[in-house]
Amino acid sequence: MSRILIVEDERKIARFLELELLHEGYEVDTAGDGRTGLEKALSWKPDLMILDLMLPELSGIEVCRRLRHESDLPIIMLTAKDDVSDKVMGLDMGADDYMTKPFAIEELLARIRVGLKKHRTVQQQAASSVLTAGELTLDPASYAVTWAGKPVALTKKEFDLLRYLMQHKGQAVTRDALLSDVWGYDYAGDTNVVDVYIRYLRHKIDEPFGVKTIHTIRAVGYMFSYE
């Protein structure tokens, strides 16, 4: 039975989600503020967290940021805002998925299933071989990236994107494929977030080391290639 932690300060929403998830067979706990939510995430060790963006004590963004130092727990962020900058900020701090209120419970349940399945897959892949390309090394087991032995600091989403690109080395991958397989859901046609994260990776890998690993494939997407 998977454990799900709901961190939501609106009691009616929290109770509604709790009842729906209990009905689906999940084990559920709740928290009404960010600080309590963070404490429960670290002590109760749920399999997935549903996290509101606007919370008392600690914001959802801050909870994400702190939690990512300790755990790769899947996080679905909820917010009343529908702004690309909010999405990018939440994802950059480590959220795995993003939903804007109001939302259909059926869609949330589907995203929970995807999040849990994806996390299990990632854990299985963590035991797989280290990925290398020239001087670049990516270790799924330790979430470490190095260039010629020098550590490269990446956020979780940057790491996931680089891993996907390296796993498909030499293949052109579309923005839609990246959204589906890395972010785990469809942005309803908004692919700008992929371009933003590609720029992040280029800024942290290509520019500092004077190389070109991520290539733009016009009218298609991107391709990782470096020997």
User: Is it true that the peptide bond before 102 is cis, omega within 30 degrees of 0?
Assistant: yes
Supply the pLDDT for residue 165: 94
At residue 69, the pLDDT reads: 75
Buried b (16+ CB within 10 A) or exposed e, 89-121: bbbbbbbbbbbeeeeeeeebbebbebbbebbee
76 touches 111 (CB < 8 A): yes
Q: Cβ neighbours of residue 211 under 8 Å, at least 6 residues apart?
A: 134, 205, 226
Chain segment 110-124, per-residue pLDDT in tens: 999 988 888 777 666
pLDDT band at 201 (very low <50, low <70, confident <90, very high): very high
What's the Cα-to-Cα distance from 35 to each of 25, 38, 51, 126, 159, rounded to whole Å? 27, 5, 12, 30, 26
% of residues, the chain, pLDDT over 70: 89
Q: How far apart are CA 103 and CA 117, in angstroms?
A: 21
What per-residue confidence (pLDDT) applies to 83?
Answer: 62
Alpha-carbon distances of 202 from 41, 80, 161, 162, rounded to whole Å: 33, 32, 12, 10
Which residue reads 């679905």 in tokens?
76
Answer with the residue of higher pLDDT: 164 or 182. 164
Amino acid letter at 225?
A: S
Domains and CATH numbers, the chain: 3-124 (3.40.50.2300), 128-224 (1.10.10.10)
Q: What is the pLDDT of residue 96?
A: 85
For 74, which DSSP code?
A: -
The residue-averaged pLDDT of 184-213 equals: 82
- Of the CA atoms within 13 Å of residue 167, those in its CB half-sphere come to 16
Distance CA 13, CA 42 (A): 23
State the chain's mean pLDDT as an integer: 86
pLDDT of residue 177: 85
For residue 31, give the H/E element and its range: strand 27-31
Is it the case that residue 159 has pLDDT exceeding 70?
yes
Judge whether 200 and 152 are in contact, CB under 8 Å: no
Q: Give 60-93 pLDDT, tens digit per residue.
A: 888 988 888 777 888 998 887 666 666 677 677 7
